[in-house]
Chains A and B, each alone.
Chain A
Amino acid sequence: MKAVDPNLRGLKPVLAAFAAKDRAVGEMLRYVLLIGIGGLVALPLIWAVLASLKPLDEVYAYPPTWSIKPVFGGQWSNYYQAATTLPLFRFLFNSTIITVCSVAGAVLTSSMAGYAFARLPWRGKRFWLVLLLASLMIPAQVLLIPRFLIFQSLGWVGTYKPLIVPAWLGGGAFNVLLFRQFFRSIPREVEEAALIDGASRWEIYRRIMLPMSKPAVIAAGLLSFVLHWQEFLDPLIYLSDFRTYPLSVGLRMYQSLAGVFGNLLMAAALIALLPVGVVFAVLHKHLAGGLRLGPGPSAAPPGDLLSDAVQ
């Protein structure tokens, strides 16, 4: 608070005391609000944990109870049962394979394209940039059917190729744009010094640009991880053997348990959420930095990503 008129110098300590009190009240209020909202946000997850540990008769008790008894004397065997009723770990394994392969491809190819767009001269670059922005506008639903027919004619239906290969071919327009913005904010001088020292473009990309863009790599990686982990429609249409299902589609099979074994359903859902939670917990500190689209603290906020397209 700097709201002190210089003429009122004598009053300064008094005003400061008021301001401090005002701030303390404001802080209290803010905490109360935050804790209230936090409670609302956490409640579904807390409920799910409680429900997953209940014995069957309590799950279908009416009216439902909020007792926290399950936490202490919980039926942890529910988790074992949930994991063995259907091949949950198989689904988990499948999801991991698909997601890891896709994310690696998406980060590699989108950063390469982003580098080409940010720094390299090539024929028709402006045209391709317009196409990049246009492809951002085209909803996946328009591409859904023709892509299916293309992959079908290649004989890829029933394999993981339709889920992984597109990630290796550009990794999504948004990621390309993210990398382009980030690379543009790295000083040219760094690159030029390396060029004069005889480094090739690939070495510059590999040894300088990528390491300097760690926040963008983490942001793009995390975003594509979440995207591929949660992808539902693609595995639904491309996979038919349930042993090849990733978690998203496999979990759907638990839905039939909803009316009978609600506790197992909750346990399975929580097991499915766990890997995302862990990855997020490890990486979340870097996320805001990557989305700020530049290495420095003054880099553009992500809202400006669109201004390029708008203007």
Chain B
Amino acid sequence: MTPTPTTAVTNGTSRCVGVWFALPWLVGVIGLVVLPVVGSLCMSLLHWDGLSLTRDVEWVGLDNYREILGDDPLFAKALGNSLYYSLIGTPLVLAASLAVSVLLSRRLRGIGLFRTLFYLPHVLGGVATVLIWSWLFNPRFGPINAMLGWCFATVDPLVRLFGAEGSSSWPTPKWFYSPQWCKPALILMQIWSFGGAMLIFLAALQHVPRSLDDAAAIDGAGRWRRFRHVTLPHLTPAILFNLVTGLVFSMQAFHQAYLLTNRAQDDGLLFYVLYLYRCAFEPPYRVGYASALAWIFFVVVFVLVLLAVWSARSWVFYEGER
């Protein structure tokens, strides 16, 4: 036999050719990931405004962490807000995207149009859509409260019929101008861009073997049981993927909160990253403190991911490992 191509490949190229290809990434990972991680860890042990290296640097050990965990009401508030947004919003987005992707999975005329339409909000994202939604949720001039008002107006005569109070007592939420409703509004906005998760589900749905579904149908399984016991198990890896990325991304939400936060909310949209940003980049520039905040954030996100992955052992089904 001639030497197998594999050995020819390894012998024919020098051992370090991979390094050349990976060089930009290597520089990046060392200079912009490893070094900052080390730097951030060190900084979290300092009292420092980040402006001058010689003055105003004070080694304080774990004082920053102690202050955050023991003596910072805004930290608790910000963490609670982010967890609320992430833990309630992500499952809702998952449910919406799963339902829609199942609707889209079978061939149907014009399905491409719907797929494009549903994916569009996810791509558009960003500041422009936040501005549009802030207008939609405007308590007085926005269409959402107008529609709610119409609904109430329709319901109102019925309610009156049963002797309850009149229409003037129907309150519409003040959305971004209320401490209670600002986060639900943001979650509704998040659900609107379910397209990213949907795309992942659609790709995964193509890998559900049709034969299994047909076999179950022949055995007399109804639609729901086929979905529950044939389709859904095949989707669990995609659900895990969407769950983890969804949790991480929503924990990191920043621009929505930055743009929409106002005094009427009583810090209801003070998300963790917004708080971190304010500590670091607004006077009095507490760089060390913000670094400690970042590390606590890392631990929180990491624990969330670990919990998701750990729980996945009992509900994720990987083909070929029964």
Contacts and interface: CB of A to CB of B under 8 A. Distances in A.
Contacts of B16: 122-123
Interface stretch (A9-17, A68-76, A270-278): A270-278
Contacts of A149: 39, 50, 287
Contacts of B104: 34
A213 interface: no
B75 interface: no
Interface string B105-131: 010100000101111110111111101
B127 A291 contact: no
Interface stretch (B5-13, B58-66, B83-91, B162-170): B5-13
Interface residues of A, number: 110
Contacts of A131: 29, 33-34
Nearest to A300: B207
B28 A301 contact: no
B317 to A, nearest CB: 11
B291 interface: yes
Contacts of A120: 13, 17-18, 21
B202 A288 contact: yes
B315 interface: no
Nearest to A59: B141
Given A288-B202, A301-B203, A303-B204, A137 B22 contact: no
Interface centre among A44, A61, A232 (most CB of B within 10 A): A44
B294 interface: yes
Interface string A1-40: 1110000000000000000000000010011011001100
A38 B201 CA distance: 18
Contact of A301 (B5, B237, B254, B297): B237
A208 interface: no
B45 interface: no
A187 B5 CA distance: 13
Interface string B265-308: 00000000100110011000001001100110110011001000
Contact of B18 (A31, A121, A148): A121
B200 interface: yes
Given A41-B121, A121-B15, A192-B8, A145 B237 contact: no
Contact of B135 (A147, A262, A303): A262
Given A47-B136, A51-B135, A138-B37, A112 B22 contact: yes
B133 interface: yes
A212 B255 CA distance: 37
B32 A166 contact: yes
Contacts of B94: none
Contacts of B206: 292, 297, 301
A113 B30 CA distance: 14
A248 B129 CA distance: 10
A145 B114 contact: no
B43 A145 contact: yes
A277 B207 contact: no
20 contacts: A30-B103, A30-B106, A42-B117, A44-B136, A62-B141, A63-B149, A143-B37, A149-B50, A150-B35, A169-B28, A170-B27, A170-B28, A188-B9, A189-B5, A191-B9, A230-B255, A232-B258, A265-B131, A288-B203, A301-B207
Interface of B: 5-6, 8-10, 12-13, 15-19, 21-22, 24-29, 31-37, 39-40, 43, 50, 100, 103-104, 106, 108, 114, 116-121, 123-129, 131-136, 140-143, 146, 149, 192, 199-200, 202-204, 206-207, 214, 217-218, 220, 237-242, 244, 248, 251-252, 254-255, 258-259, 273, 276-277, 280-281, 287, 290-291, 294-295, 297-298, 301-302, 305, 309, 312, 318
Interface of A: 1-3, 27, 30-31, 33-34, 37-38, 41-45, 47-48, 51, 59-64, 66, 109-110, 112-113, 115-117, 120-123, 125, 128, 131-132, 135, 137-150, 166, 168-171, 176, 188-189, 191-192, 195-196, 201, 205, 226, 229-230, 232-233, 236-237, 247-249, 251-252, 254-255, 258, 262, 265-266, 268-270, 272-273, 276-277, 280-281, 284, 287-288, 291-292, 297, 301-307, 310
Given A3-B218, A146-B36, A230-B125, 14 more contacts: A27-B108, A44-B132, A60-B141, A66-B146, A131-B33, A143-B36, A150-B35, A150-B39, A226-B123, A232-B254, A254-B131, A265-B131, A288-B199, A301-B237
